[in-house]
């Protein structure tokens, strides 16, 4: 099994932290350098029974006026071409304009999307269910997976779920 995966989410939700955890520090840090190249491979996770190729999609979270039509097209085409999208949000913060903007971009995309609720180490467990419920109303996510990229909670489980979609 092998597939391309794009992690989408506002700055600081924990995308690099997640990549660091699953594929190692160096690669994900390098991909944080300012770059003009689109659709860069951020890293490859090779497991005995699966290969996951993480693709950067810069700009998908940026308001349109900052980015231009061409870049937006490129970003959106990438979303159509990958096998799976991980939409990462911060459990500490509610659904906001940034998330709304990204969800709009998903409307024209048929790629399966997982909602990854990160930083669950920062919230009381009772808060999680309401967050999940509020996101369920907004989009038909294939999976909703709460994790802590920093502490590692549920990350293995997420990888298993990704594997089953490749």
Query: Among residues 82 and 158, whose Cβ is nearest to ligand GDP?
Result: 158
Backbone angles phi, psi at 136, to 5 degrees: -60, -35
According to the binding rule CB under 6 A, does residue 21 interact with ligand GDP? no
User: Is 96 labelled as part of a ligand binding site?
Assistant: no
Using CB positions, name the residue nearest to ligand GDP. 14
Q: Cβ of residue 1: shortest distance to ligand GDP, in angstroms?
A: 26
Q: And the tokens for 23?
A: 């594929």
The CA dihedral of 99, 101, 56, 7, to the nearest 10 degrees, is: 30
Using CB under 6 A, pick the residue from 79, 118, 146, 155 that binds ligand GDP.
118
- List the interface residues with ligand GDP, window 22-81 (CB under 6 A): none
Quick one: which segment of 7-15, 51-59, 87-95, 145-153 binds Mg ion (CB under 5 A)?
7-15
Using CB under 6 A, pick the residue from 85, 116, 131, 149 that binds ligand GDP.
149
Q: Cβ of residue 70: shortest distance to ligand GDP, in angstroms?
A: 24
Using CB positions, name the residue nearest to Mg ion. 16
What SS3 string covers the chain?
Answer: CEEEEEEECCCCCCHHHHHHHHHCHHHHHHCCCCCCCCCCEEEEEEECCEEEEEECCCCCCCCHHHHCHHHHHHHHHHHHHCCEEEEEEECCCCCCHHHHHHHHHHCCCCCCEEEEEECHHHCCHHHHHHHHHHHHCCCCCCEEEECCCCCCCCHHHHHHHHHCCC
d(CA 54, CA 147): 18
Q: Which of ligand GDP, Mg ion, none does residue 12 bind (CB under 5 to 8 Å by kind)?
A: ligand GDP
According to the binding rule CB under 5 A, does residue 16 interact with Mg ion? yes
User: Is 119 labelled as part of a ligand binding site?
Assistant: yes
User: Is 12 labelled as part of a ligand binding site?
Assistant: yes
Please give the annotated binding residues, written as ranges: 9-16, 56-60, 118-121
Residues engaged in binding ligand GDP (CB under 6 A): 9, 11-17, 118-119, 121-122, 148-150
């Amino acid at each position: 099994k092998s597939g391309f995966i794009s992690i989408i989410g506002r700055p600081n939700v924990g995308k690099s932290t997640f990549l660091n955890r699953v594929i190692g520090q160096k690669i994900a840090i390098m991909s944080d350098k300012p770059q003009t190249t689109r659709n860069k491979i951020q890293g490859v996770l090779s497991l005995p029974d699966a290969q996951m190729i993480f693709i950067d999609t810069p700009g998908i979270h940026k308001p349109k006026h900052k980015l231009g039509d061409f870049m937006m097209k490129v970003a959106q085409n990438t979303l159509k071409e990958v096998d799976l999208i991980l939409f990462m949000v911060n459990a500490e913060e509610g659904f906001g304009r940034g998330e709304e903007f990204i969800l709009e971009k998903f409307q024209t995309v048929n790629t399966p999307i997982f909602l990854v609720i990160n930083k669950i180490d920062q919230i009381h467990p009772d808060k999680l269910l309401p967050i999940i419920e509020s996101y369920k109303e907004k989009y038909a996510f294939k999976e909703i997976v709460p994790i802590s990229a920093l502490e590692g909670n549920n990350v293995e489980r997420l990888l298993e779920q990704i594997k089953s979609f490749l």
